[in-house]
Amino acid sequence: MGVELIRQQLNQLADPKQAANLQRFFKTGPGDYGEGDRFLGLRVPQIRKLVKAFAATPIRDIQQLLRSDIHEERLLALLLMVERFQSGDEKERERLYRHYLASTRYINNWDLVDASAEHIIGAWLFDKSREPLYQLAKSGSLWDRRIAIMATFHFIKHGDYAETMQISDCLLQDSHDLIHKAVGWMLREVGKRDPHLEEAFLRKHYREMPRTMLRYAIERFPEQKRQDYLKGRIA
């Protein structure tokens, strides 16, 4: 009954016009990164309210939602997992971490990754070996690679930048724009806290970085310095 009740609530909030907008925004057309994804048309604040309402949902029901072909059901499942991870004991946290890693094929759009990777993968690995991140970074899956770099946001927020810099280096020649954006974003977040570290990385790599990655990384730089990077004037 639990999953049926959740789906009933989601369907009551469905907005076909918004769903059509989201299908365009998240690139669901043939050959696009979100090809075939289906939307109900809910906004994120609506889904977050449902997280509070269904916080006690059993893990087996959350797993069922995560395997759905409806985007909002997968997002709700991931946000429920984050909620459970943050309130759970060590055994529960490990179980959620392992289920997340086993389910990355369903975490298949950038918003799903960004809402969950740092809070589960990053949080679990913070005081453990980070080797799983490097395995993800080498994956043929776009979403695995995005999980790898976005998980390091948890480390960044705790003043630990080593994995962000190393995984950024691993992904420097990645072919996908969504990785360029994520790496540039994480480099920018490092730069907010340690500008010298970010600039040391940029001075070494900026000429070979994808343009989008560079633009995201230097977004908050003073305009003159930003132009110097863009025009190759930084020695």
What 3-state class would DSSP assign to 128? coil
Q: Please tell me the chain's helix, strand, coil percentages from 3-state DSSP, rounded to the nearest 5.
A: 70, 0, 30
d(CA 154, CA 226): 27
Round to the nearest angstrom and report the end-to-end CA distance of the chain.
63
Q: For the chain, give the mean pLDDT.
A: 97
* pLDDT above 70 (res 128): yes
Contact between 163 and 127 (Cβ < 8 Å): no
What is the share, in percent, of the chain residues with pLDDT greater than 70? Answer: 100
pLDDT tens-digit readout, 87-115: 999 999 999 999 999 999 999 999 999 99
* pLDDT above 70 (res 116): yes
Over residues 214-229, mean pLDDT: 97
Which position has the token pair 């893990």?
59
- What are the backbone dihedrals phi and psi of residue 145, each rounded to the nearest 5 degrees, phi first? -65, -40
* pLDDT above 60 (res 21): yes
Q: What is the pTM of this model?
A: 0.96
What is the SS3 assignment for 141-182? CHHHHHHHHHHHHHHHHCCCCHHHHHHHHHCCCCCCHHHHHH
Over residues 70-89, mean pLDDT: 97
User: Which tokens sit at 183?
Assistant: 């790496």
d(CA 162, CA 136): 16
What is the share, in percent, of the chain residues with pLDDT greater than 90? Answer: 99
Question: What is the reported pLDDT for 1?
Answer: 52
Over residues 150-176, mean pLDDT: 98
Contact between 108 and 73 (Cβ < 8 Å): no
Over residues 36-63, mean pLDDT: 96
* pLDDT above 80 (res 183): yes
- 32-41: b (≥16 Cβ within 10 Å) or e: ebbeebebbb
* pLDDT above 90 (res 2): no
pLDDT tens-digit readout, 51-75: 999 999 999 999 999 999 999 999 9
